[in-house]
Amino acid sequence: MKQDKKVIHSLIAFIIMITIAIILIVLGVILDRIGATNFVKSDAIPKYKSPFYIYLLEIGGAVLFLLSFGNLHFYLQNKYNIKKMNIKQMAIIAVFSALSVILYYFAKFNIPIFPSWLDIQFSDVPALLVGFMYGPFSGALTIVIRFFCKLPGTQTVGVGELADLLIGLTLVLTSAFFYKKHRTLKGALISMLIGMASATVVATLSNWVLLIPAYKFIAGYPQAALTGAMDTILGGRGIVNDNNFMFYYLFIAVIPFNILRYIMVFTVTFILYKRLQMLIIRFAGNYKDQMIEYENEKE
């Protein structure tokens, strides 16, 4: 009975913590946008800098957001008998998290048909590999570790990193959850399609609600520069203006870009998965067999 209460309390704590985290983050964005709007800029170089309390709200909200997943993990672990990670699995997750950070900073490139700030990068590949091998929450943990490693170097008060966190979690959790139940070639392909579709939706919403406002009002990037870059891609014919920029940006740039990006990411993941899985089994054992053994012990 006491254990059941702890499980319920952990779910309630998760809901409360994640709600407060979202409120802090949204409040930080709103206050910063108000401050930037009221700030009188010169015609040349924007000099607006976010107040210190904005950093506290955004980063505090992001940290609380991540801590809330400890309660979620406790709830799911006890509700659905999720197996605890052993030392070898934790070591593999740490290695793949480090690889994800390295890929994020050193393995990215631009495609001229998209705006320069949209980078093709493969930092999600290690998280997907972990998610397919050890389950969705292990893959999500890789994304979370990458988030914390990137946060100190933020140029958008953590907003860009938070959006990347949300997109990465969506990608890994949706695809790994499906693959966990359908460990076949067909299941892998469907899981990739589900992950690609869901992550593209979240990426589109994140660009609309978080990233572009962060570029403009936190990083001080002028709207005219954003509009000009988008218009240049469409031939520089003056089609894009400040009023219709977001429409063209989302549907001509963000959605096609993310579809292409995730096709490339999942292609690399698909090529590497089976080869790396054999090495991981030799090092840490067969995770699927360990899960069967764990379920038998529970019975």
Query: What counts of helices (H) and strands (E) characterise the chain?
Result: 12, 2
Q: Where are the alpha helices (DSSP H) in 111-153?
A: 124-134, 136-150
User: CA angle, 71 as apex, 69 and 72 as ends, to 5°?
Assistant: 60
C-alpha 140/C-alpha 131 separation (Å) is 7
State the amino acid at position 232 in one-letter form: T
Helix, strand, or coil (residue 211): helix
Q: Are 226 and 216 in contact (CB under 8 A)?
A: yes
Q: Is the pTM of this model over 0.75?
A: no
The identity of residue 230, as a single letter, is M
Ramachandran angles phi, psi of 41, nearest 5°: -95, 155
Instruction: Return all residues near 191 (Cβ < 8 A) that are at least 6 apart.
Output: 174, 175, 176, 177, 178, 179, 182
Distance CA 50, CA 154 (A): 13
The pLDDT value given to residue 43: 44
pLDDT at 42 (0 to 100): 45
Q: Check the CA dihedral 31-36-38-39 and report its sign.
A: positive
Question: In this predicted model, what pLDDT tens digit does every residue of 7-41 receive, in sequence order?
Answer: 788 888 888 887 887 788 777 767 766 766 665 54
Closest CA to 166 of 4, 20, 21, 5: 21
- How far is it, in rounded angstroms, from Cα 40 to Cα 190? 51
- The stretches in the chain having pLDDT less than 70 are 1-3, 29, 32-33, 35-50, 55, 58, 62, 66, 69, 73, 76-77, 79-87, 152-158, 218-219, 277-299
* Cβ atoms < 10 Å from Cβ of 234: 14
